[in-house]
Amino acid sequence: MELLNFDYIMLIRLAAAVVLGGLVGWERNSSNAEAGLRTHIILCLGAALVMIISENIFLQHGSGDITRMSAQVISGVGFLGVGSIIVDGNRIKGITTAAGLWTTACVGLAVGSGHFVLAAVVVAFMLFAMWGLPAITRGRKRKRRLVRVNRSEELLKKLTELEEQISSLKSDIERKD
Structure confidence at residue 12 as a pLDDT band (50, 70, 90): very high
Lowest average pLDDT, out of 58-72, 96-110, 119-133, 138-152, goes to: 138-152
**Can you tell me the distance from the alpha carbon of 57 to that of 62, in angstroms, rounded to the nearest whole number?**
8
CA nearest neighbour of 73 among 96, 97, 42: 42
Q: Which pLDDT score is estimated for 1?
A: 42
pLDDT tens figures, 47-103? 999 999 888 888 888 877 888 888 888 888 888 888 888 888 778 888 888 888 899
45 contacts 37 by C-beta, under 8 angstroms: no
59 contacts 37 by C-beta, under 8 angstroms: no
**Can you tell me the distance from the alpha carbon of 25 to that of 33, in angstroms, rounded to the nearest whole number?**
9
What is the value of pTM for the model shown? Answer: 0.64
When pLDDT is averaged across residues 17-43 and rounded to a whole number, the result is 85
111 contacts 46 by C-beta, under 8 angstroms: no
